[in-house]
Structure 1
Amino acid sequence: MAVFLNRDTRVLCQGMTGWAGTHHVARMMEYGTQVVGGITPGKGGRSHLNLPVYDRVADAQVETGANASIVFVPPPNAAAAMIEAIEAELPLVVAVTERVPTLDMVRVRAALKGARTILVGANSQGILVPGVGKLGVMATGSERPGGVGIVSRSASLTSEVVAQITAAGLGQSTTIGVGGDPIHGIGMRECLELLLADVDTQAVVLIGEIGGTEEEEVAEYVAGLRPSKPVIALIVGREAPLERRMGHAGALTLRGRGDAAGKIKALESAGVRIAPSAHLVGETVRQALAGRG
């Protein structure tokens, strides 16, 4: 049973007529994702990629029966697009857009309170369920169906870890990119909870980095739960300089907060296995599952 994305997921694309939306929606459809329409205000009634285009999410949802959306809207208008999808009560929204203004994301988080929508992102590479569908911009080709769930803050490292897990003969159940911006929707702890409850997931890999407190929140959750399924973590940025953003807007170490060493210590204390290097994640997962068996 995949998390978030399955063969019944019917997807709208907000910003589908732009270059990024056009390119990635075509790839998603090639992979098997059921995309049913696009949203571009002012272009309603047209067709794009042989799909209907609508002015408003609510209208598209009624006509297509969509239950998910992916957002390719540029940063100045991305928050408005997310809020529109939330107000239309779409169960799942994935926001790919990077560096949405922080105050705008505060408004999005306020709109999520009490809503029935789960937001993944912003600045998410998306969700991938091998052989079923992808809702995002991640590369495909090395993924295989299997029993390892992945929750990540890093798009490029996700591709590396997916390839290693496949090479180890394990495969993936669901891969989720929570997003690298400082304020986003669903976090690593909530995704871990969902994957641990998934009957098809036998182990979970967390890909963390400097900045924020998500990894520490995961450590607290794991310490209290003591799950029977192995949890493995890769934390990057051990040599990152203080107070300098490293890639993602959320990858920023402040003095005494958010550094890799502190995150690793908290996770190890909770019983999470730490992969010592990016190139050893696949082997670490294999050993963890062998020890469990």
Structure 2
Amino acid sequence: MSILVDKSTRLLVQGITGKEGTFHTQQMKAYGTNIVAGVTPGKGGTLHEETTPIFNTVADAVKNTEANASVIYVPPPFAADAIMEATDAGVSLIVCITEGIPTVDMVKAFHYVNAHGSRLIGHNCPGVISPGKCKIGIMPGHIHKEGRVGVISRSGTLTYEAVHQLTNLGLGQSTCVGIGGDPIIGTLYVDLLEMFQADLGQTAPPGRRMGHAGAIISGGKGTAAEKMKMMTEAGIHVVSSPADIGITVQATLQK
């Protein structure tokens, strides 16, 4: 069981020759991800580390390799254009790791992707992994275990914490998705919950400005207590501490 990515995923890396692109391409390959192409304008016709063909455009890469997914490690000023270029090339899944993309650029990219039928994960996210099948992004592969629990999170580090607990309890994951914590992101919880069900925990002190839109409290609305109450009333198992995620999932699955 998995969503979004699996062994049939053919990945291209936009920004493959940069420092981040090079490092994480190595890590994804080591995990077993099928990386079929890289894209860096002006470097087409060469090989990245003597193995991966580089193309000048995403369209050329897709035409020559049948890539069906893209991961973006492009600097913020150019990342939105990279997203839209992948969309134009017909890439079905686009995972944007880049942090700090101007909001106005992301609004444009968000509407463009939705209008053309591609699926965008991110930006400013750790990516997507289906353990034992495919890893796209920057998450540590070794903490994951193949199984049947789906994980969705806006926070990269809390994703890793939840996964680590689950794995230590012998609870493998089908797919783990970091959707990103910025105000404008391509895919929301509800989009992924249509594919699988996940539990999540969160806290946010009233009156404190947090680092992402998922923790906004305004006019007494959106407090941790209010969110937990609403989810509990909806039949969702809620934990008061991230440390309880693993054992709560384990207990729920045993019912």
With normalisation by structure 1, the TM-score equals 0.83
The residue that corresponds to 1:233 in the other structure is: 200
- Going from structure 1 to structure 2, the CA distance change for 1:290 and 1:88 (only over 3 Å counts) comes to same
Rounded to whole Å, the distance in 2 between the matches of 1:61 and 1:74 is: 22
Is contact 1:76-1:100 (8 Å) kept?
Answer: yes
The residue that corresponds to 1:117 in the other structure is: 118
The residue that corresponds to 2:79 in the other structure is: 78
- Going from structure 1 to structure 2, the CA distance change for 1:249 and 1:74 (only over 3 Å counts) comes to farther
Provide Cα deviations, 1:219-252, integer angstroms capped at 9, x if missing partner. xxxxxxxxxxxxx331222x2533x1x2336544
- Give 2:153's aligned amino acid: S
| Helix, strand or coil at the partner of 1:100 | coil
Provide Cα deviations, 1:4-26, integer angstroms capped at 9, x if missing partner. 11111100111110000000011
The residue that corresponds to 1:280 in the other structure is: 244
Rounded to whole Å, the distance in 2 between the matches of 1:110 and 1:161 is: 31
Q: In the alignment, does 2:41 pair up with 1:41?
A: yes
Is contact 2:154-2:214 (8 Å) kept?
Answer: no
- Give 2:81's aligned amino acid: A
Is contact 2:152-2:200 (8 Å) kept?
Answer: no
Q: What count of residue pairs does the alignment treat as equivalent?
A: 254
Rounded to whole Å, the distance in 2 between the matches of 1:250 and 1:79 is: 22
- Give 1:290's aligned amino acid: Q
Provide Cα deviations, 1:140-177, integer angstroms capped at 9, x if missing partner. 21211111100111110111111111122211110011
1:60 Cα offset (Å) = 0.6
Q: In the alignment, does 2:66 pair up with 1:29?
A: no
Q: In the alignment, does 2:8 pair up with 1:11?
A: no
Is contact 2:121-2:186 (8 Å) kept?
Answer: yes
Alignment of 1:150-229 (within 5 A): 150-195=151-196, 204-205=197-198
- Give 1:140's aligned amino acid: G
The residue that corresponds to 1:224 in the other structure is: none
1:109 Cα offset (Å) = 1.4
Provide Cα deviations, 1:89-145, integer angstroms capped at 9, x if missing partner. 101000001121110011011202332210001111111111111001001212111
1:282 Cα offset (Å) = 0.6
Q: In the alignment, does 2:135 pair up with 1:134?
A: yes
Instruction: Point out where structure 2 has 5 or more consecutive residues left out of the alignment.
Output: none
Which of 271, 276, 285 aligns to 2:235? It is 271
1:45 Cα offset (Å) = 1.5
Provide Cα deviations, 1:176-211, integer angstroms capped at 9, x if missing partner. 11111110101111111111xxxxxxxx43xxxxxx
With normalisation by structure 2, the TM-score equals 0.95
Rounded to whole Å, the distance in 1 between the matches of 2:12 and 2:221 is: 39
| Helix, strand or coil at the partner of 2:38 | strand
Provide Cα deviations, 1:258-290, integer angstroms capped at 9, x if missing partner. 332222222112111101211110110011111
1:41 Cα offset (Å) = 1.1
Rounded to whole Å, the distance in 2 between the matches of 1:249 and 1:30 is: 33
Q: In the alignment, does 2:146 pair up with 1:148?
A: no
Rounded to whole Å, the distance in 2 between the matches of 1:253 and 1:12 is: 39
- Give 2:46's aligned amino acid: R
Rounded to whole Å, the distance in 2 between the matches of 1:84 and 1:249 is: 27
Rounded to whole Å, the distance in 1 between the matches of 2:29 and 2:116 is: 28
| Helix, strand or coil at the partner of 1:186 | coil
Instruction: Point out where structure 1 has 5 or more consecutive residues left out of the alignment.
Output: 196-203, 206-231
Is contact 2:153-2:200 (8 Å) kept?
Answer: no
Aligned-pair Cα RMSD in Å: 1.4
Is contact 1:90-1:116 (8 Å) kept?
Answer: no
